[in-house]
Chain A
Amino acid sequence: MPALETFLQAIVNGLVLGSFYALIALGYTMIFGVIKLLNFAHGDVYMVGAFVGFGALSLVSGVVGAGWTGLAIAVLISMIAVGFLGVVIQRVAYQPMLSAPRLSILITALAVSLVLQNGALSLTEGSYKAFRTDLGFGGFEFGRLFISHQAIVLVATAAVLMIALEFFVSRTMYGRAMRAVSIDKDMCRLLGINVNRVVAITFLIGSGLAAAAGTMAGAYYGSIWYFMGFLIGLKAFTAAVIGGIGSITGAMLGGLILGLLESFGTQIPFIGSEWKDVFTFAILILVLVFKPTGLLGKSEVERM
C-alpha cells in the first residue's frame, strides 16, 4: 500500500521537522512572554548552538568518539554555553532597552541577529562545515517506509526536553514566577520576585533549547553554515504564532503542526518541495488574518 506508506513517511518527516520548529518556537514564545519582545535573533542563537555543538563534538570525539555519547555531550555543552550566551545578549542588548519604546528593542534584536550572523560568517568564511558523526544510517524498514534511528532519538529528545520544560513551568517556583512575570511584572516585584533574574533564566532556557535543536539539526542534516538560522528562525516564529505567541503549549503544538503541514504540503501533486516556504508563510498570513491570537493564545480584552 504505497499510499499509506507515503502518508506515514510524511508523518515521520513532519515530526522531525516539527521537533526543530517546536524547540526554537519555545524560546520565541517564552521570551515574548516575559519581556514582550519578538526576539528575531533567536534563529541565529540556534545557528550558534549548531557551531558550538560542532566544536564540542570535535573536542570530545577524540575521547568518547562521535557516536551517540559524543553527540549527547556536545548537545549538553552547547545548551549550557549558548544558554549563557543568551543571558549575556539579554543583559547587554535588551536590558537597557526595556524602558525604551517597543520598536527600539525590536530593532536591537535585528541588530543582534546581524552581529551573530556576521560573526559566524567571518569566523567560518561563509563556507559549509560538514557535521560528521558516527551515528550511521541505521533504522527500521517497513516496506517502503523508513524510520532512521536518528529520527527516533531526535524526536524523543525533543519530547523529553519539552516535558521537562512543561514540568518546570507548571510545578516549580521559578516556573510559576516566569508565568507571573509574563502577566504582571510590577506585581511580581511587590511580591519580592527578582524579575531580572526570572528574565535571565528565561533567556537561559530558551537559548539552551535552541542550541539543542541547532546541534541536533547539524548532526541530522550533516552540514552547518552561518545562515542556517535565518529561515528556520522565521518558521519557528510562524510556529509560535500558530500556537499563540506567549503560550508554551501553543509553541510545542504550533511547531509540530507546522512541521507536519510542510511535510504533507510537499506531497501535494504539482506543488514540489521548492514551494515549501511559500506554503509556510502563506499559513502565517492566514493565521494572522483569521486568528491572530493563534490556537492557544488569549485575546486581551480591554476593560472599559
Chain B
Amino acid sequence: MLLELEQVSLRFAGNTVLDKVDFGVEAGSLASLIGPNGAGKTSLFNSITGFYRPQEGRIDFNGERILRRKPHKVTQMGVARTFQNVRLFREMSVMENVMAGMHCRTKAGAFGAVLRTPGQRAEERYIAEVAHECMRFVGIDQYADRLATNLAYGYQRLVEIARALATQPRLILLDEPAAGLNGTEKAALIELIRRIRDERDVAVLLIEHDMGLVMQVSEHIHVLDYGRIIAKGTAEAVKNNPKVIEAYLGQEDEEMVL
C-alpha cells in the first residue's frame, strides 16, 4: 500500500467527523472516495495532507508515518492535492503558478537565490523545463504567460492539476475535479486522469459526485457515510451494495442516481 489509514478518528468539539476509518490506496492505482455531502470526504483529504490532526489512528505513506507531519513535509514526501474550489495564485502567471509547485523539489537555498550562484541559475532553468513539461502534459502550455485569473474556469482547473504534478507526487488527491465542467471537458478530464496514472505512474485518489466519471475511471471505490467507510470494492460491487444505496437514497437532494 502506498497510502494506508488505520482506525483514523477525527473529532471537532465532540463531533465525530471521521470514525475509525480504514482506508488504503495502492501505488499506481486509480481510486475514488464517494459519499453524500458532509460525509467527511474533504476532512479525510485534510487529514492526509496534514491540515487536520486526527486524534486517533495511523496514517502511513510509502511506509512512513505522516500523521501530524506538517503539510509541507507531507507534500515533500510525495502527496499532492487540488481543491474543490480552484485555489490558484490569481495574480501570478500560469507558469509561475506551476513553478511554485516545484519549490519543494529545489535545493538552492535562499542565499543562493539572493546571490545568483551558478547552481541556482541552472536550477531555475531546470524548474522552467519541468514546469513546461507539466503544462504540456495537461495541455495549457500556450497559456503559460497569462495571469491565472484570466483563464476560463476549465483551464484554471487544469492549471491546478499541472501545479500539483509539478510537486512530483506519487499520489495525487483530486477534490471534485469535474465540478463545473461541461461534457467535453469531463471527457478530457477522464482521459487526463488515466494518463496521469499510465504515463507518470502517479496514483490518483479522487472525490467526485459525478458518478458516471467515478464509475468510468476508478478501479477501487470507497464509500464514506457519517465518517465511516461503509463499503469498498470495484464499481460493480459498490453500485449494488444495499448500504450504499441506502446512504444515498436516504438523502433528499442528492444528485446521484445509481
Residues of A within 8 A of B (CB): 168, 171-177, 179-180, 183-184, 186-195, 197, 201, 204-205, 298
B87 within 8 A of A: yes
Give the distance to chain B from A79, nearest Cβ to Cβ, in Å. Answer: 11
B99 within 8 A of A: yes
Q: Give complex CA distance A129, B80 in Å.
A: 56
With contacts A186-B51, A191-B75 known, is A175 near B113, CB below 8 A? yes
B185 within 8 A of A: no
0/1 string, B95-127, CB within 8 A of A gives 1: 010011111111010100110100010011001
Give the distance to chain A from B74, nearest Cβ to Cβ, in Å. Answer: 8
The answer to whether A189 touches B89, judged by C-beta atoms less than 8 angstroms apart, is no
Give the distance to chain B from A244, nearest Cβ to Cβ, in Å. Answer: 13
The answer to whether B49 touches A168, judged by C-beta atoms less than 8 angstroms apart, is no
Known A-B contacts: A173-B123, A180-B92. Give 13 more (CB < 8 A): A172-B120, A173-B108, A173-B127, A174-B110, A176-B100, A179-B89, A180-B89, A183-B92, A184-B89, A187-B89, A193-B103, A195-B72, A205-B114
B90 within 8 A of A: yes
Q: Give complex CA distance A137, B120 in Å.
A: 42
Q: Give complex CA distance A286, B33 in Å.
A: 54
The answer to whether A192 touches B103, judged by C-beta atoms less than 8 angstroms apart, is yes
The answer to whether A177 touches B100, judged by C-beta atoms less than 8 angstroms apart, is yes
The answer to whether A189 touches B127, judged by C-beta atoms less than 8 angstroms apart, is no
Q: Give complex CA distance A253, B159 in Å.
A: 33
User: Residues of B contacting A180 with CB < 8 Å?
Assistant: 89, 92, 100
Interface SS of A by simple majority: helix
Give the distance to chain B from A75, nearest Cβ to Cβ, in Å. Answer: 16
User: Residues of A contacting B49 with CB < 8 Å?
Assistant: 190
Q: Give complex CA distance A197, B71 in Å.
A: 14
B200 within 8 A of A: no
With contacts A184-B87, A191-B75 known, is A174 near B113, CB below 8 A? yes
Considering the complex, give the chain A residue whose CB is closest to the CB of B83: A187
The answer to whether A189 touches B100, judged by C-beta atoms less than 8 angstroms apart, is no
Give the distance to chain A from B4, nearest Cβ to Cβ, in Å. Answer: 21
User: Residues of B contacting A173 with CB < 8 Å?
Assistant: 99, 102-103, 106, 108, 113, 120, 123-124, 127
Counting chain B CB atoms within 10 Å of each CB, the highest count among A172, A177, A197 belongs to A172
User: Residues of A contacting B96 with CB < 8 Å?
Assistant: 176, 179
Q: Which 8 A-B pairs have the closest CB atoms?
A: A192-B104, A192-B75, A189-B71, A172-B113, A174-B113, A183-B89, A193-B103, A180-B100
Show 20 A/B contacts (Cβ-Cβ < 8 Å), sorted by A: A168-B114, A172-B124, A173-B106, A173-B123, A175-B113, A176-B96, A179-B91, A179-B96, A180-B89, A183-B91, A184-B87, A186-B71, A187-B83, A187-B89, A191-B72, A191-B167, A192-B75, A192-B103, A192-B167, A193-B72
User: Residues of A contacting B90 with CB < 8 Å?
Assistant: 183
User: Residues of B contacting A204 with CB < 8 Å?
Assistant: 110
Considering the complex, give the chain A residue whose CB is closest to the CB of B70: A189
The answer to whether A193 touches B104, judged by C-beta atoms less than 8 angstroms apart, is yes
B76 within 8 A of A: yes
Q: Give complex CA distance A194, B123 in Å.
A: 18
Considering the complex, give the chain A residue whose CB is closest to the CB of B173: A190
With contacts A188-B100, A191-B104, A197-B110 known, is A176 near B120, CB below 8 A? no
Counting chain A CB atoms within 10 Å of each CB, the highest count among B76, B104, B105, B114 belongs to B114
Q: Give complex CA distance A195, B103 in Å.
A: 11
The answer to whether A193 touches B120, judged by C-beta atoms less than 8 angstroms apart, is no
Q: Give complex CA distance A222, B101 in Å.
A: 48
Give the distance to chain B from A95, nearest Cβ to Cβ, in Å. Answer: 14
With contacts A176-B92, A298-B91 known, is A191 near B101, CB below 8 A? yes
Q: Give complex CA distance A189, B80 in Å.
A: 11
The answer to whether A189 touches B103, judged by C-beta atoms less than 8 angstroms apart, is no
Considering the complex, give the chain B residue whose CB is closest to the CB of A174: B113
Q: Give complex CA distance A204, B99 in Å.
A: 23
B163 within 8 A of A: yes
User: Residues of B contacting A298 with CB < 8 Å?
Assistant: 91
User: Residues of B contacting A189 with CB < 8 Å?
Assistant: 50-51, 70-72, 75
Q: Give complex CA distance A93, B245 in Å.
A: 55
Counting chain B CB atoms within 10 Å of each CB, the highest count among A179, A187, A191 belongs to A191
User: Residues of A contacting B124 with CB < 8 Å?
Assistant: 171-173
Counting chain B CB atoms within 10 Å of each CB, the highest count among A172, A173, A186, A197 belongs to A173
User: Residues of B contacting A176 with CB < 8 Å?
Assistant: 92, 96, 99-100, 103
